[in-house]
Chains A and B, each alone.
Chain A
Amino acid sequence: MRDKLLAGAGALAAVLFVRNLYVMFMQIGDEVDQGAIYRIIYFHVPAFFTAGMCYIASMLASAYTLWKKDLRADAFAMSATEVGLAFAAVNLLTGMIWGRIIWGIWWAWDPRLTWALISWLVYFGYLGLRKAIDDPSERANISAVVNIFAFTSVAITWKAIVWWRTQHPAPVLSIRGADGKIDPAMEAMIYTNWIPLLLMATIFIAIRLRQERALRELDAMRRWAHST
């Protein structure tokens, strides 16, 4: 049943994705100043949103881990962070490609870009820390605290374009109070393309969780084998 659900979600994501590609290339025109390359925003922004969702989910799961001492929540936090890192990497890479075309440089050390990179490194450190702790409940405890700390960098990344004058474009989306800066059809496309990415993230997390469960079962079996 679960397999079918996941496969169904994957099929839905694929169909939506193809439809979005058609609309963004065939129906929505080029941007006046930037030409065709602006379309990267349809991947850049939704990838950041998806990564943000993963980070929020993993932060909440970490808080739950501390509260209830639940190892399954810990496994979820880890899976969500790994998937979030992948989407954050998509966000960084698409941003760099866009920057190469529009700014002429791959990277600019402005607060928004820097903090996006910091968040990436902080979460990478979180995953590294997990590898260094053997005892499962200690690992859950310690990494959950680090995860909650790590989330502050995501919050700063989100607000960086408001707090500083950055080279990264200032907010254009109406959800951030910037009405009329972007064509409604273009803004709608950003959200529409977010849906398949979110579906993909959900599938990845589910698969990663399954691996983690298998790993725990193996571990239990190994311990049982050693004890008899």
Chain B
Amino acid sequence: MSLLLVAPIVIPLATAALGLVVRGPRAHLGLSLVGGAALLASTLALLGQVLRGGTRATQLGTWPAPFGITLVADLLAAVMLAVSSLIGLVILVYSVETIDAERRAHGYYPLLHVLLMGVCGAFLAGDLFNLYVWFEVMLIASFVLLSLGGERAQLEGSVKYVTLNLLASLMFLSAVGLLYGLAGTLNMADLAVKLREAPRPGLLLAPGMLLLGAFGIKAAAFPVFSWLPPAYHTPPIAVSALFSGLLTKVGVYALLRAFTLLFVQDVGFTHGLLAWVAGLTMLTGVLGAAAQMEFRRLLAFHIISQIGYMLMGLALLSAGGLAGAVLYVVHNILAKTNLFLVSGMAARVSGTYDLKALGGLYRSRPLLSVLFLVPAFALAGMPPLSGFFAKLTLVRAGLEQERYVLVGTAVTVSLLTLFSMTKVWSEAFWKEPPEQPAPSGRLPLSLVVPSATLALLTCLLGLFADEALAVGTRLAEELLSHQAYVAAVMGARP
């Protein structure tokens, strides 16, 4: 049944299109929530199908691969789809109280669905050109979401964002052109076969490095992350949270795909380089965070640092490493989005994102403190929570390959992350408030429930780490051997 494969694209598009037609804020909200829930249901069903029956593919318009447009869902794509649509729904609920009427009137909800469509499309795309197209869909939707509202700081952030991302698009497109010239195809399954038997693998380094650059910018990896911190702390908190959960992870997904399926000819060079990038990304991110006293900027720097761990798993290119990387992606999407949600609630209660001006939340808001502690400890990698097992898997995989420097960096950065989270804890929650706290009512349920859901999932991911790791290992083995992917795409009935 090919319907489930197109549903993650069709549902958000239909929701966005209906959003243009219906009138009235109530109808918009209802439509948007129904669309988000339907998307989550369809991606969960797809995940179930892929878990049971393996990789699935469909050829749009019945044009056979490698000529037509192929949508593929392997385990990696299915997991990413499910987590992303969950985040989408959570953010939609969180937006109910936090997005002002003006933004809503300017198409906030349809834009959010277009962004989700872009993200889902990128995960499903079976060829590089369509991946590029979905990246552009995402870029345009996120740019408008960033600049909606038109405040000065917002515009500054979004101009940086769009400039660097357009550069990434340019590199991506050049790489696509080069690859087409070299291999005569852009279908990733077809490329996987052709590139493995390429007569002059040295030539492949050029498109490979261009793609590394392009996806690196999207993922906010080491030298090219400067667009992220200024862009993520200016828009409304729901938008920041959504971006923190999804945008960089699509870049990581693209790297995972490209450097397991396509560019494995000269692993010593490409994945050696990735290891350097991973280590430096971890380190610079966490050091940047140490200097921040603004809640959202601090979290934004942590996003960068966390990307390093995912790249580390990819650089190891072993079943353990890739399983760790994917576990880390899932854990990080849940925890990082939640931290942004919590920062939004703290700011709603106290009226500021400045850690110096915050304080005393532990006494006045015990529930909020718990909601902060769960993702914060998960992020730092404290034992019973999801982050610990993800990091453990990565560290173990690193030790197996005797990559002591990389492992050492990962462990050190983990400690620094803990330090950074402790700083937030002591500043915002523990210390006496600098002045009388601003009067504030109860936190609405539409803010608490999304955050509590994510916290619960973080705990569950830690409790069922064995099962998660089993899925992760299966996923990693799928990534390491391209046969199943190729067979699913080429064998899918046109």
Q: Do A and B bind each other?
A: no
